[in-house]
Structure 1
Amino acid sequence: MENKFQFAKDIIRDAGDFIKSNMVKGLEIEEKTRFDDLVTNLDKATQELLITKIKQAYPSDHILAEENGVHHDITDGNVWVLDPIDGTVNFVAQGTHFAVMIAYYENGVGQFGLIYDVMNDTLYSGGGQFDVYMNDQKLPPFQDRPMNRFLVGCNANMFAYNYHGLHDMIEHTLGVRVYGGAGISMAAVMAGQLLAYFSYIQPWDYAAAKVMGEKLGYVLLTIDGEEPDFTHRQKVMFVPKAKLSTIQTYLSQT
């Protein structure tokens, strides 16, 4: 597993270098489900780069990825979960605040995850048997403090419309931060900069953070408190286990 983990760290940085080398060129931007659900030719090319490297090294492994309908059951064998550019809107509009994400699962059990903040050259990696690091800095487990001494990350619409009472809950904290990318947001949770993160995201958006977070005392569950199913987009929360019951007392059922 050590060799596979090192391989993942190598190829995620390769993907970051590939993005930085090509993002200055003309981007082909497409809309998927609506005008703010974007994909670029660079998303697709980066995913293909990662898949090619994985298949060359581990030809019998499977892939679950964001683009081009590359799907595989997370519980079936060795599965790499890929998000080539998480935060594509940020990537297109700002040229920053986006990440490459990789997770590796065996028969549904997370072995390690990686989130690479490309423009800040910050790699979060670990989980399973591996300690979680931010570059060369080992991250400590969740450090508890009162709710009113934390910021919270949240999907903008879920906050604005007070989904399940999220706006009301956040009123008991120092406030909300909306970064526009699941990877960047959940990395901030693991780094102790946010208490929790709430959003409406796909399996490739949460797979890496779920593995790493478990090592640090966090859980990734649906808003209703169930395990995510890794098959479709769901409303989820990434929260400290130590605060889960407290947070759930704030969340309404409607």
Structure 2
Amino acid sequence: MTNWTEIDEIAKQWVKEAGARIRQSMQESLTIETKSNPNDLVTNIDKETERFFIDRIQGTFPGHRILGEEGQGDKLRSLDGIVWIIDPIDGTMNFVHQKRHFAISIGIFEDGKGKIGLIYDVMQDELYHAFSGKGAYLNDTPLAPLKEASIEEAIIAINATWVTENRRIDPSILAPLVKRVRGTRSYGSAALELASVATGRIDAYITMRLAPWDYAAGCVLLNEVGGIYTTTDGEPFTFLENHSVLAGNPAIHKIIFGDYLHADR
């Protein structure tokens, strides 16, 4: 029988250890490369941090599988068994340019269902964590269930690119939404934006393209506080594919989806 309490405790220890290694590495020079485009950055620290987790997972839990952003894990076609979905540094551009506002993000799944979610804001030393059925926390403080809010009082996270240039949704649909809400934010880290939804600091998060390692841990957090997450078409996540994302408290999710994203359907 799987000892999930042990897995949770060990994963938290590893995340804190990896965070300390990243902070120490910031005194050294970075090797920066690009991936899919000039703005899609990866550093030697991303790769080294992913390797750190893979080595420890394989050494401690040899039956577990790993889906990692930098491709050093397993090639998965299913989420059967126990799978760790890892983003060693979510917000690499922030890491490179600002030295803050980035996170380690880990979702641990069993047969496709999220069991543990960990999002560690490395520079703030803030660990957002959730254990399925046992609530979500920021460090030692429990996160309260999300409260309803009116759309006019809502703060949503959305990148300006999606409002001005968007192949999935006509920008003319998003512009009125942006004008209606109280404010918008863009933090440059999907994991931290989802964590902010889970804490109630923002009311919704909209983006057109995220990979599983970007959203897996955040979804486990949202499950524990009553958050809703779907694609912008209203479909559930597979946790194996890239998706658009609409996440928020139930009331705001319903308004954005019904009144804006699918008002004409």
TM-score w.r.t. structure 1 length?
0.95
Match of 1:204 in 2: 213
Q: 1:186 aligns with which of 186, 194, 200?
A: 194
Amino acid at match of 2:227: Y
Amino acid at match of 1:141: P
Amino acid at match of 2:202: L
Match of 2:140 in 1: 136
Confirm or deny that 1:36 pairs with 2:39. yes
Match of 1:66 in 2: 69
CA distance in 2, matches of 1:252, 1:60: 42
| Range 135-144 or range 238-247, more displaced | 238-247
CA distance in 1, matches of 2:113, 2:253: 22
CA distance in 2, matches of 1:186, 1:138: 16
Q: Tell whether the 8 Å contact from 2:147 to 2:249 is kept in structure 1 after alignment.
A: no
**Cα displacement string for residues 169-210 of structure 1 (whole angstroms, at most 9, x for unaligned residues):** 222211210111101111111111101111121100000011
- Give the SS at the match of 1:167: helix
Once the two structures are TM-superposed, the CA of residue 69 in structure 1 deviates from its matched residue by 5.2
CA distance in 2, matches of 1:252, 1:150: 17
Match of 2:177 in 1: 169
Confirm or deny that 1:231 pairs with 2:254. no
Confirm or deny that 1:22 pairs with 2:25. yes
Query: How many residues end up aligned between the 2 structures?
Result: 254
CA distance in 2, matches of 1:59, 1:9: 18
CA distance in 2, matches of 1:155, 1:141: 26
Q: Tell whether the 8 Å contact from 2:65 to 2:84 is kept in structure 1 after alignment.
A: yes
| Range 2-11 or range 227-236, more displaced | 227-236
Q: Tell whether the 8 Å contact from 2:157 to 2:205 is kept in structure 1 after alignment.
A: yes
CA distance in 2, matches of 1:39, 1:48: 14
Shift in alpha-carbon separation, 1:50–1:69, aligned structure 2, 3 A:
closer
Confirm or deny that 1:110 pairs with 2:114. yes
Once the two structures are TM-superposed, the CA of residue 127 in structure 1 deviates from its matched residue by 3.7
| Range 147-156 or range 76-85, more displaced | 147-156
CA distance in 1, matches of 2:228, 2:6: 27
Match of 1:155 in 2: 159
Once the two structures are TM-superposed, the CA of residue 74 in structure 1 deviates from its matched residue by 4.7
Give the gaps of 5 or more residues in structure 1: none
Q: Tell whether the 8 Å contact from 2:247 to 2:253 is kept in structure 1 after alignment.
A: no
CA distance in 2, matches of 1:235, 1:9: 28
CA distance in 2, matches of 1:154, 1:104: 26
**Cα displacement string for residues 125-156 of structure 1 (whole angstroms, at most 9, x for unaligned residues):** 01412210001110001011211112100133
TM-score w.r.t. structure 2 length?
0.91
Identity of aligned residues (%): 36
Q: 2:257 aligns with which of 242, 248, 254?
A: 248
Large movers: runs of 4+ above 6 Å: none
Q: Tell whether the 8 Å contact from 2:32 to 2:43 is kept in structure 1 after alignment.
A: yes
Q: Tell whether the 8 Å contact from 2:90 to 2:102 is kept in structure 1 after alignment.
A: yes
- Give the SS at the match of 1:171: helix
Q: Tell whether the 8 Å contact from 1:83 to 1:205 is kept in structure 2 after alignment.
A: yes
| Range 229-238 or range 47-56, more displaced | 229-238
CA distance in 1, matches of 2:261, 2:255: 12
Q: Tell whether the 8 Å contact from 1:72 to 1:79 is kept in structure 2 after alignment.
A: no
- Give the SS at the match of 2:109: strand
CA distance in 1, matches of 2:110, 2:184: 35
CA distance in 1, matches of 2:215, 2:233: 16
